Chains A and B, each alone.
Chain A
Amino acid sequence: MKHDDVLNKLNEYLDGELSPAESARMNAHLEACPDCRAELEALRELMRKARDLPASVQPGRDLWPGIAARLEDRSVVTGDFRRKRTFSFWHNRSALAAAATVVLIILSVLGSLRPWEQEVISSATEQITVISTFAHIDRASDRVSRNILTRFDRHGNVAAMEANDVLTRNIGIIDGAIADIRSALQTDPTNTRLAQMLRSEYQRKMDLLRTVADLLGDDTDTGMNPTT
């Protein structure tokens, strides 16, 4: 085995990635070549130092208050989202946690609204008030999302677009859970627990839309009670 070949393969040799035959050839060369042995030892020393680095390094300040504040923000909407987790739909908690983000972003948008922007929002929320069935909830959420995005896009309100983006993503998460439950119901149509969960997911979707509507300044009853 040539000297340069050995040098090029020292990493693989140390990492145990060479075949037995290649390793044997490496061993033979290393026994006879002090330069390669020195190179090998230097690499071993570096790897030893890497392994000996402290596993733990304490940050310069206590990071918990910042974390706790962020958890607190999320709990405004999420509430006791850990109450029931007997069914493995992670979407429930994710959707509710993300809903808090929607609320916060929209609140920040509301802080700088102009009159014409208020009109856009009123128009969007009116669509929510007529919802009474699950299918309507699906369609209305799409319309509200498109409405807000289209109108604000024309006026370049980036914050509103971001809020819409988050809203759309959250609705998508809930829709994913709904699709999962519907799929499960197809194979087990008499499962009352699944039916309850489907209803619960739609309720969450409505709650999210209602929360958005409330934050947008519409204090009328949205009439979004589930019918089945």
Chain B
Amino acid sequence: MPEVAVRTEATLISSAQRGDRGAFEQIYRLHVGRVYAICLRLEADERRAEELTQDVFVRVWNKMGSFRGKSQFSSWLYRLAVNVVMEDRRTRVRRSRNETPSEDAVTYASGHVGRHTDASLDLELALRTLPSGARDVFVLYDVEGYKHEEIAAMMGITTGGSKAQLHRARKLLREVLK
């Protein structure tokens, strides 16, 4: 990120922490694409991803005061986004709702795909075919770069479980992408 942008974001964060909603909207504009990408890849459902993205930013607003600048704001924000998705997942499991991705999710392929190449679009679509546990770990490890220990803590599973899900995801994806 250019230095000017960093300074600008620091100012925006400081203003948002003082309750400046305009500054917070600019923070939203800066990060919505990344947060939405995380939610979409984890959820494999466009509508749910939009709702979760909104949940994330409402949560961020409420937690702005707890951001102390010890880590990068983006790291803090994206981890919070993952946590929101995981909490939502656990809540839905408790309520025994059907987690099958909606038919609408397919529209993602023809809609707002940004700078996707054909190869990356294939992978995005292949991700949707994975069981949620395997998809979560693949997205968090291979796409987002978290460590197994971090993933285990976020998902409430063991490190070994995280590794097993990753290997399973890679195997399934290779079969789908052949």
Contacts and interface: CB of A to CB of B under 8 A. Distances in A.
A85 B120 CA distance: 45
B46 A46 contact: no
Interface in A1-47: 11-12, 17, 42-43, 46-47
A115 interface: no
B54 A90 contact: no
Contact of A66 (B41, B46, B54): B54
Contacts of B114: 54, 56-58
Q: Contact residue range for chain B?
A: 35 or more
B48 to A, nearest CB: 12
Contact of B58 (A47, A55, A67, A85): A67
B37 A67 contact: no
Interface string B104-145: 000000011111110110011000000000000010001100
B50 A94 contact: no
Contacts of A55: 33-34, 37
A94 B62 contact: yes
A139 B96 CA distance: 37
A94 B115 CA distance: 38
Interface stretch (B5-13, B17-25, B81-89, B150-158): B17-25
Nearest to B57: A67
A71 B65 CA distance: 15
7 contacts: A42-B174, A43-B174, A51-B143, A53-B124, A63-B32, A63-B57, A71-B24
